[in-house]
Structure 1
Amino acid sequence: MLIIDRAIHDAIIDHARRDHPDEACGVVAGPAGSDRPERHVPMLNAAMSPTFYEFDSGDLLRLYREMDDNDEDPVVVYHSHTATEAYPSRTDVDLASEPGAHYVLVSTRDGAHESGPVDFRSYRIVDGEVSEEEVRVVDGYADVPSSPHESSPHESSTDQRATS
């Protein structure tokens, strides 16, 4: 399950909408070993394409050095799909190189780049196997219960659609 702060969730959606019709991409870093996405890092899609994303190699190297210096991991790797559903393509699966990361896809198709609900979905991709996982959007990590099955008044589970 991906537990993500509402402000970061909304920032990812805003980035996807802002970069439409090109795919947006980025990373959310978090403390090493925590599985907690805390620092949103929107990246430039070096491909500048509506059907493909590519991190700029120099920017990516700088980000990984920075995460190493800060004792952080890439908790979320995200990108948008501008004309298709929020499901990993074969290319997305082939490019997934962080087995511990949550791979978030946001679809801005059918006018979602302007307003209304967007598909915001998360996957684990390990050794070419794709597994969708639940996304829980919370108003702050302090309110997250220790067990993912407990409920808090400040959290909401998405049903694979989110509004922003």
Structure 2
Amino acid sequence: MLIIDTATYDAIVAHARRDHPDEACGVVAGPAGSDRPARFIPMLNAAMSPTFYEFDSGDLFRLYKEMDSRDEEPVVIYHSHTATEAYPSRTDINLAQEPNAHYVLVSTRDGADQPSFDGPVEFRSYRIVDGEVTEEEIQVVADYNTGEI
């Protein structure tokens, strides 16, 4: 199960909406071994594509160096799908290299990219290990300490 705070959830959705019609991507780092997403890090989609995302290799190298120096790891790796459901594509599955990460997908299709969109945003989380995709429950909490929703 992914437990994520409201502020981080909102930041991921806002980034997906802002980058639409291109896919948005980023990482939420957390203390190593904690499984707690703590530091939201929006990244640039170097592919600048509505159907594919790619982290800039230099940015990604610097991010991993920084996470290492802070004793952090990628807890959430997220991106958006602009015209399809929030389910990992074959390419997403093949690129998944962090077995302990939660892979979050947000769909901005059908007007969900608009701030005025009044329906629920499709926000889903998966574990992807050795090509096997397992969807997991998401709990959005106001505060990690109290666990209040």
Whether these two folds match at TM > 0.5 is: yes
Q: Does residue 94 of the first structure (1) align with residue 91 of the second (2)?
A: no
| Equivalent residue, structure 2, for 1:67 | 67
**Deviation of the 1:118 alpha carbon:** 1.1
Residue of structure 1 aligned with 2:145, choices 133, 142, 146: 142
CA-based RMSD: 0.5
**Deviation of the 1:45 alpha carbon:** 0.1
Alignment-mate amino acid for residue 128 of structure 2:
I
| Equivalent residue, structure 2, for 1:123 | 126
SS at match of 1:110: coil
Distance 2:133 2:17 in 1: 25
**Deviation of the 1:110 alpha carbon:** 0.2
Alignment-mate amino acid for residue 131 of structure 1:
T
**What is the 5 A alignment of 1:1-164?**
1-114=1-114, 115-116=117-118, 117-144=120-147, 154-155=148-149
SS at match of 1:123: strand
How many residues are matched?
146
Distance 1:74 1:96 in 2: 12
What percent identity do the matched residue pairs reach? 77
Bigger RCO of structures 1 and 2 (CA < 8 A, at least 6 apart): 2
Report the TM-score when normalising by structure 2: 0.97
SS at match of 2:46: coil
Report the TM-score when normalising by structure 1: 0.88
SS at match of 2:17: helix
Distance 1:29 1:42 in 2: 11
Question: Structure 1: which 5+ residue stretches go unaligned?
Answer: 145-153, 156-164
Distance 1:35 1:98 in 2: 13
Question: Structure 2: which 5+ residue stretches go unaligned?
Answer: none
Give 4+ residue runs of structure 1 displaced > 3 Å after superposition: none
